[in-house]
């Protein structure tokens, strides 16, 4: 059953309570001051707060560049070589190409092991850049998924770290727009909502559907309900790379 839009629109949304996407980082210094700094220590702590704000500004510019570079590639299936480096025509090749255009070779800096999605994830996890919130930390963050296809071809859903995407935006209800490369449509945008993990779409007042969790795996007759094939089913974690690591 597809829920109606009123349920979605009027929900007591965790996102609305705890986040204001795009501004949450800039609020940290003021929250820090309110909670742990009294007036006599204000002068000592203020310079630190300005430093944090300046880091956030740099991070925001970097991730805006990541997102804009990703969106410019919509519809593409392949990516050209740059500076003698080749980029595979798949999800990890797309992510690496976007970040390389933005100033960092993710696999060269963070890759661990033989390469691919697992290699990048392990390198980022090692540095504690991986997190599992319901809402991403920033635009431009990475999203890792498990079991999006049968890597080992054994007919089982036992394929961790099979896909990676980039966060484009988040709406007020926590629906994440992400961009990724898929064999069927090349680079394109899809949706993920971890606050409504079992819902593909809501029925709008005009009768149309508002997708909040896109289908991410092809149903190949596994005798499972369609809700098992949406983005939220396969979500593993986000990853955020601090901008100071790439400056």
pLDDT band at 9 (very low <50, low <70, confident <90, very high): confident
Tell me, what's the pLDDT at 166?
98
Model confidence at 159: pLDDT above 60:
yes
**169-203: pLDDT as tens digits:** 999 999 999 999 999 999 999 999 999 999 999 99
Model confidence at 240: pLDDT above 50:
yes
* Angle formed by the axes of helices 91-102 and 42-71, nearest 10°: 120
**Domain boundaries of the chain, sorted by first residue:** 5-245
**73-125: pLDDT as tens digits:** 999 999 999 999 999 999 999 999 999 999 999 999 999 877 799 999 999 99
Report the pLDDT averaged over residues 220-225.
90
Tell me, what's the pLDDT at 17?
41
Model confidence at 71: pLDDT above 90:
yes
- To the nearest whole number, what is the mean pLDDT of the chain? 83
């Amino acid at each position: 059953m597809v829920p109606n839009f009123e349920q979605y629109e009027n929900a007591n949304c965790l996102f609305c309570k705890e986040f204001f996407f795009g501004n949450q980082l800039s609020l940290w210094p003021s929250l820090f001051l309110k909670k742990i700094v009294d007036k006599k220590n204000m002068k000592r702590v203020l310079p630190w707060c300005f430093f944090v704000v300046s880091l956030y500004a740099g991070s925001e510019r970097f991730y805006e560049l990541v997102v804009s570079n990703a969106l410019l590639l919509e519809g593409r299936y392949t990516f050209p070589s740059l500076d003698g480096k080749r980029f595979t025509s798949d999800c990890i090749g797309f992510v690496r190409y976007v970040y390389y255009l933005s100033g960092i070779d993710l696999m060269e800096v963070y890759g661990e092991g033989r390469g691919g999605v697992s290699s990048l994830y392990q390198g980022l996890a090692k540095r504690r850049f991986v997190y599992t919130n319901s809402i991403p930390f920033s635009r431009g963050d990475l999203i890792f998924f498990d079991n999006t296809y049968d890597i080992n071809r054994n007919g089982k859903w036992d394929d961790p770290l099979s896909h990676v995407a980039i966060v484009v935006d988040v709406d007020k209800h926590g629906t994440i727009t992400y961009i990724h490369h898929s064999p069927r449509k090349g680079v394109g945008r899809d949706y993920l909502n971890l606050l409504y993990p079992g819902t593909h779409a809501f029925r709008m007042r005009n009768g149309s559907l508002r997708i909040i969790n896109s289908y991410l795996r092809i149903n190949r007759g596994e005798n499972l309900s369609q809700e098992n094939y949406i983005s939220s089913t396969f979500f593993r974690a986000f990853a955020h790379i601090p901008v100071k690591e790439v400056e």
